[in-house]
Structure 1
Amino acid sequence: MQSVKFNEWNPGTSSTRKYQEGASFDLTFRNLSYTTGKGKKAKHILHQISGSFKSGHLTAILGPSGAGKTSLMNILAGLKKSGIEGRVDVNGAKRKFKTFRKQSAYVTQQDHLLKNLTVDEYMTAAAHLKLGNKVSDKEKKSTIEQILKTLGLTNTKKTRVKCLSGGECKRLSIGLELIDNPAILFLDEPTSGLDSSSSLQCVSLLRDIARSGRTVVATIHQPNSRLLDLFDHLYIVAGGSCMYQGPVDSLVPYLQTMNLDCPNHHNPTDFAIDVASGEYGDVLPRLVSGIENGRRIFHENSPAILASPALSHDTGFYEEDEFDIMLDGNSKKKEKKGKNKDGLMYGAPFHYQVSILLGRTWRTIWREKILTTMRLTLHVCISFLMGMLYWQIGDDADDIFNNAGMIFFSLIFILYVAMMPTFLTFTLEREVLVREHLNQWYSLKAYYLAKTLADIPFQIVFPTLYLIPLYFMSNQPLCIGSFSMLLGILISMALVGQGIGLFFGAAFDIPVASYFAPISCIPFLLVSGFVLKFNAIPTYLSWITYLSFLHYGFEGSMLSLYTVDRPPLGCYQDYCHFRYPIKFLEQFDLTHSSYYLALVGMLVSFVVIRVGAYFALSFKLRHVR
């Protein structure tokens, strides 16, 4: 890969220019403790740990499984907020969370990417979202080309993500976060799943990024000797404490000071991990004490104690914290007003985010040939099958219950065929949302609105394609009004089904969602009015009918076909009790019902379910780490 100086990028944002002018962001943390659970179930992950990561250095966080290295990374990146004590500083000043999240980027261990976008399309969408509409398309294109050249992805810019190798996907994940030129880059196991050559390329790239003046921190699982030589700084965690902090070359001398001799031709980090795991006795307390739990950076010639802001050991407050507490009411109000004014921590305004996300979502749905083609084929095939099974029964008074059963089955079919693919695909796409949202690409509201708008056309087209053959094959009334009213009910049912799919896809993983999503509709099915007539439902349960979208759907569909002013149905027997539609409506207690109230009921259900899905997704994002 060709080496490009990252500080020469010029995307044009004010924050980027600030970095280009030579600003460095040193990350320092003091006395960090992290606890999960409460009471007897409380588990202490980190214990008063300290450390310092410098700009221009590539830092590796190492440690055995369960040591707390990923928790430390997530805290430093700002992804964990609860159960934490201690302090994180940027350039010696207390970290401001919102500003810090904009200055930093986090690359997760798994490369959660949209598989149907090309590399260039993905980078372009990221540039629009991160740099906004104030940066010209020419500047964005120049930035993208320079990043792709640096990452060695120029020849794959027209390749879809699903066709990339593991190393290329990892480089793309890094490149997406480099577009807005972050000052601090966090990476969780960036070499996981890569072969030795791809791992070497990846870490070499990270070193080049660090050399440009960025602070680059990565958790690494036992790197080999060649990878180890690329790192400037090691931070080894064991049992929630720091057992070593310093240059790579000083690791072996430090262990020797503790009478721990690394065998010749043995990987020093492998030896250190073995020591941390207790294979050389209970020496961990001595190692933690020797490095003062991260407050000391060990150099072979001159161990150094980290510089820190003034700290009161009696109170646990930093001096500037005390200053913040003494702010008067007016100052606090000004600070709050400033936060609100600067609350938009995204590169693009809301409407621009929605526009870009809508186009990207449309492209991914359209290219999902298997799913889209399958849904289209399923609607058409089931429509013709139903039409042949219920051939010409729509105007036969003797088959009126069969006709009602056909319509009710259609409602169930439209509901489930909209619900099932939605939660299956959205559960997978949710991981992409987590990565992009946490890296401040866009707001959750913009994403959710774009997601909702993008799928609405499909929920209109598919029910329409289903209804047209079935309607004419089953000989329903040749009236544009009846057809339009029934189509409105089916479309509303499809939207409700998609909303339920979004809710369960947002709230649960695939195994749980695939079980509970279909079952959740059964109570509404029982009180729909088809299985059990309305007047037969016990009074203490009748209130459920007002919550049942299937009740409104069945009511609206029956009123669409069997209006009071519809001519008498055909009768081919000696006597047909339901020849007049009013008799049928009386049978199902629908004579005083209103089609428009039924339609409103379905639309209210649609809105309530969508709002519930939004809050479920918001809750999931807050507790993702």
Structure 2
Amino acid sequence: MQSVKFNEWNPGTSSTRKYQEGASFDLTFRNLSYTTGKGKKAKHILHQISGSFKSGHLTAILGPSGAGKTSLMNILAGLKKSGIEGRVDVNGAKRKFKTFRKQSAYVTQQDHLLKNLTVDEYMTAAAHLKLGNKVSDKEKKSTIEQILKTLGLTNTQKTRVKCLSGGECKRLSIGLELIDNPAILFLDEPTSGLDSSSTLQCVALLREIARSGRTVVATIHQPSSRLLDHFDHLYIVASGSCIYQGPPGSLVPYLKTVNLNCPSYTNPADFVLDVASGEYGDVLPQLTSGIKNGRIIYEDPSIPPLATPSHNRQGDVCEDANEDDVEKMKNKENRLTYATPFHTQVSVLLERTWRSIWREKMLTQVRFTTHILFGIFFGLLYQAVGNDAAFTLNNAGMLYFNLIFIVFTSVMPTVVTFPLERKVLIREHLNNWYSLKAYYLAKLLADIPFQIIFPTVYLVIVYFMTGQPLSLQRFSMLLCITIFTSLVGQGIGLVVGAVFDIQSAAFMAPTFAIPFLLFAGFFINFKSIPSYMNWMTYVSFFRYGFEGSMLAIYDYDRPPLDCSEPYCHFRFPQKFLEKFDMAHSSYSICVFGMVVYFVVMRVAGYFLLRFKVKSVR
């Protein structure tokens, strides 16, 4: 992999630029404690640990499973905000979350990426969102090309993410966060799932980034001795306390101070993890005490210290603040949180979302084919029943099952895909790419054309094959109700998908619809419903959809129907409406009810999604 001096990147002089070139930041934390749960269920994860991560150094956080390393990472990155005691400083000044989000980036262990975008499309969208409008397209393109060259992704620019290898996806995840040149980069298990060659390439890249003056911190599960040598600084956690902080070369000498001798030809990382797991006795209190739970850094006098980058250093103590940088941080506090204005965020996200939907087979090809096939199926099943009084009940059943089909074909694709997209949203939103409102609006706008086109194609087939009245007014009224039903169904999918994972959402969505189906007026007349349950008919969107469909076909002075039998009880449409207690109903109220549902579902979806994103913290 080719190296590059990251502090020479110059994506522009926009006021939305996070840092002046060369600015970098030291991260320190003191007496940090973290507790989950309350009362008797409270669990203490971290116990007043302290530490210091210098700019220009690549730091590895090590520890056995359950030691608290991921919790520490999430707290330092600002992902966790509750249940925390202690203080986190940036260059000696107390961390302010709004500013810190603009200073840092967090690459999660799982590479949550949109699978149907190409590498170039992904990087371009990220550049527009993270660099702002004041940076020219030429400068953005130059920045992207340099990052891709550094990451070894130049030959994959036109490749879709779903076709990338695990190592390429990991490098792309890192590259997306490097676009705006963050001063502090956090990575949770960046080598997870990679082979030994890709792991070394990934860590070598991180070291190059750190050498440019960035502060790079990564959790590593179990590094090899060769991989360990690539790190400048180790921070080892055991049982929520720090048992070592210092250079890799000083680890073995430090362990000797408590009579722990690492055997020859043994990986020091494996040895210290065995120690942390308690396999060498109860020595953790001694190790924790030896470095005062992270308050000091152990360095073996016989090993020359690592040279600290000359920029942004004012003393030997890492907590000393660069006054100019601190002042810049304070001045930025009142600036816009995001690099780009709201309308630009919506525009970029709308284009990106549209590409993803268009290329997703289930959201386009499968849905389109399903609407055509089922349209023909229903047309053949209910052939020519629309104007025959002998089959009015069959026609009502057809109108009712139309609604069921439209609802479920709009709910289920959203339920299946949205929880996956939610993971991408959480990563990008917490890394300050865009606002939640911009994402949600773009998501709604991108899918609306499909929610209009697919039901229209379906209804055209069914309407004419089933012999409904050849009236543009009636067709338009039925189409209006059908489209609103589709939009409401999508809203339900967003609500359920915003809260639950895929498995739970796939169960909850159909279950959620059952009460609405019962109180639509098809299975039971409104007059037959007990008075104490009658209110449920007014909150059933199926009621407004079915009632509106029936009124569109049979109301508004429709003449008597044809009759293929000697006697047809419902030859007069008004009489048929009376059977369903709809003779005095209003089509306008049905449309209004659907509009209310449309609005309520989308507002509820937004606030539930907002709650879900906040609950991650």
Q: Give the TM-score range, shorter chain.
A: over 0.9
Shift of the alpha carbon at 1:345?
A: 1.1
Match of 2:310 in 1: none
**What is the DSSP-based 3-state SS (H/G/I as helix, E as strand, rest coil) of the residue aligned with 1:579?**
coil
* Residue deviations 1:2-40 (CA, integer Å, cap 9, x gap): 111101111114578774443220000000000000000
Instruction: Note if contact 2:346-2:441 (Cα within 8 Å) is conserved in structure 1.
Output: yes
Shift of the alpha carbon at 1:563?
A: 1.5
- The correspondence of residues 36-47 of structure 1 with structure 2, limited to 5 A, is 36-47=36-47
Instruction: Note if contact 1:459-1:494 (Cα within 8 Å) is conserved in structure 2.
Output: yes
- The correspondence of residues 420-459 of structure 1 with structure 2, limited to 5 A, is 420-459=412-451
**What is the DSSP-based 3-state SS (H/G/I as helix, E as strand, rest coil) of the residue aligned with 2:261?**
coil
Amino acid at match of 2:27: L
**2:605 is aligned with 1:613:** yes
- The correspondence of residues 191-210 of structure 1 with structure 2, limited to 5 A, is 191-210=191-210
Q: Distance in 1 between matches of 2:434 and 2:302?
A: 46
Instruction: Note if contact 2:385-2:395 (Cα within 8 Å) is conserved in structure 1.
Output: yes
Shift of the alpha carbon at 1:229?
A: 0.6
Shift of the alpha carbon at 1:424?
A: 0.4
Match of 2:107 in 1: 107
Q: Distance in 2 between matches of 1:229 and 1:337?
A: 39
Q: Distance in 2 between matches of 1:337 and 1:180?
A: 19
Q: Distance in 1 between matches of 2:363 and 2:588?
A: 33
Match of 1:266 in 2: 266
Greater displacement, 585-594 / 79-88: 585-594
Instruction: Note if contact 2:28-2:319 (Cα within 8 Å) is conserved in structure 1.
Output: no
- The correspondence of residues 11-30 of structure 1 with structure 2, limited to 5 A, is 11-14=11-14, 19-30=19-30
Amino acid at match of 1:163: C
Match of 2:219 in 1: 219
From the superposition, tell whether residues 309 and 505 of structure 1 become closer, same or farther in structure 2 (CA, over 3 Å). Answer: same
* Residue deviations 1:63-92 (CA, integer Å, cap 9, x gap): 000000000000000111000000000001
Instruction: Note if contact 2:54-2:318 (Cα within 8 Å) is conserved in structure 1.
Output: no
From the superposition, tell whether residues 584 and 16 of structure 1 become closer, same or farther in structure 2 (CA, over 3 Å). Answer: closer
**What is the DSSP-based 3-state SS (H/G/I as helix, E as strand, rest coil) of the residue aligned with 1:296?**
coil
Greater displacement, 395-404 / 509-518: 509-518
Shift of the alpha carbon at 1:130?
A: 0.6
Amino acid at match of 1:395: N
- The correspondence of residues 482-521 of structure 1 with structure 2, limited to 5 A, is 482-521=474-513
**2:103 is aligned with 1:129:** no
**2:518 is aligned with 1:526:** yes
**What is the DSSP-based 3-state SS (H/G/I as helix, E as strand, rest coil) of the residue aligned with 1:614?**
helix
Q: Distance in 1 between matches of 2:483 and 2:156?
A: 41
Instruction: Note if contact 2:362-2:413 (Cα within 8 Å) is conserved in structure 1.
Output: no
Q: Distance in 2 between matches of 1:229 and 1:506?
A: 43
Corresponding residue to 2:534 among 542, 551, 566: 542
**2:144 is aligned with 1:148:** no
**What is the DSSP-based 3-state SS (H/G/I as helix, E as strand, rest coil) of the residue aligned with 1:460?**
helix
Corresponding residue to 1:477 among 469, 480, 499: 469
- The correspondence of residues 70-469 of structure 1 with structure 2, limited to 5 A, is 70-301=70-301, 307=317, 341-342=334-335, 344-469=336-461
Amino acid at match of 2:494: L
Shift of the alpha carbon at 1:564?
A: 3.3
Instruction: Note if contact 2:26-2:91 (Cα within 8 Å) is conserved in structure 1.
Output: yes
Q: Provide the TM-score with structure 1 as the length reference.
A: 0.94
Shift of the alpha carbon at 1:132?
A: 1.5
From the superposition, tell whether residues 607 and 466 of structure 1 become closer, same or farther in structure 2 (CA, over 3 Å). Answer: same
**What is the DSSP-based 3-state SS (H/G/I as helix, E as strand, rest coil) of the residue aligned with 2:61?**
strand
Q: Distance in 1 between matches of 2:318 and 2:485?
A: 61
Shift of the alpha carbon at 1:308?
A: 8.3
Shift of the alpha carbon at 1:296?
A: 0.8
Instruction: Note if contact 1:296-1:306 (Cα within 8 Å) is conserved in structure 2.
Output: no
Amino acid at match of 1:276: A
Greater displacement, 127-136 / 232-241: 127-136
* Residue deviations 1:516-572 (CA, integer Å, cap 9, x gap): 110111111111011111111111111111111000001100000002311110012
Across the two proteins, how many residue pairs are aligned to each other? 599
Shift of the alpha carbon at 1:574?
A: 2.1
Q: Distance in 1 between matches of 2:201 and 2:248?
A: 19
Instruction: Note if contact 1:489-1:556 (Cα within 8 Å) is conserved in structure 2.
Output: yes
* Residue deviations 1:333-360 (CA, integer Å, cap 9, x gap): xx99996x53x31111100000000000
Greater displacement, 614-623 / 291-300: 614-623
Greater displacement, 556-565 / 230-239: 556-565
Instruction: Note if contact 2:34-2:84 (Cα within 8 Å) is conserved in structure 1.
Output: yes
**What is the DSSP-based 3-state SS (H/G/I as helix, E as strand, rest coil) of the residue aligned with 1:242?**
strand
Q: Distance in 2 between matches of 1:307 and 1:5?
A: 26
Q: Distance in 2 between matches of 1:466 and 1:424?
A: 22
Instruction: Note if contact 1:16-1:180 (Cα within 8 Å) is conserved in structure 2.
Output: no
Instruction: Note if contact 1:10-1:16 (Cα within 8 Å) is conserved in structure 2.
Output: no
Amino acid at match of 2:60: A
Of the two structures, which has the highest relative contact order with CA contacts closer than 8 Å and spacing of 6 or more? 2
Match of 2:564 in 1: 572
Unmatched 5+ residue regions in structure 2?
306-314, 321-328
Match of 2:592 in 1: 600
Shift of the alpha carbon at 1:306?
A: 9.4
From the superposition, tell whether residues 295 and 198 of structure 1 become closer, same or farther in structure 2 (CA, over 3 Å). Answer: same
Amino acid at match of 1:25: F
Q: Distance in 2 between matches of 1:245 and 1:110?
A: 27
**What is the DSSP-based 3-state SS (H/G/I as helix, E as strand, rest coil) of the residue aligned with 2:106?**
strand
Q: Distance in 1 between matches of 2:456 and 2:14?
A: 50
Q: Distance in 2 between matches of 1:448 and 1:13?
A: 30
Q: Distance in 2 between matches of 1:623 and 1:437?
A: 13
Q: Distance in 1 between matches of 2:319 and 2:467?
A: 82
Shift of the alpha carbon at 1:45?
A: 0.2
Match of 1:317 in 2: none
Shift of the alpha carbon at 1:421?
A: 1.0
Instruction: Note if contact 1:13-1:131 (Cα within 8 Å) is conserved in structure 2.
Output: no
**What is the DSSP-based 3-state SS (H/G/I as helix, E as strand, rest coil) of the residue aligned with 1:226?**
helix
Q: Distance in 1 between matches of 2:302 and 2:19?
A: 32
Greater displacement, 4-13 / 470-479: 4-13
Q: Distance in 2 between matches of 1:52 and 1:338?
A: 24
* Residue deviations 1:205-237 (CA, integer Å, cap 9, x gap): 000000000000000011001111100000000
**What is the DSSP-based 3-state SS (H/G/I as helix, E as strand, rest coil) of the residue aligned with 2:114?**
coil
Q: Distance in 2 between matches of 1:616 and 1:224?
A: 43
Instruction: Note if contact 1:499-1:609 (Cα within 8 Å) is conserved in structure 2.
Output: yes
Match of 1:57 in 2: 57
Q: Distance in 2 between matches of 1:86 and 1:204?
A: 33
Instruction: Note if contact 2:17-2:339 (Cα within 8 Å) is conserved in structure 1.
Output: no
Amino acid at match of 2:580: F
Instruction: Note if contact 2:55-2:210 (Cα within 8 Å) is conserved in structure 1.
Output: yes
Instruction: Note if contact 1:552-1:598 (Cα within 8 Å) is conserved in structure 2.
Output: yes
Q: Distance in 1 between matches of 2:27 and 2:464?
A: 70
Amino acid at match of 2:576: F
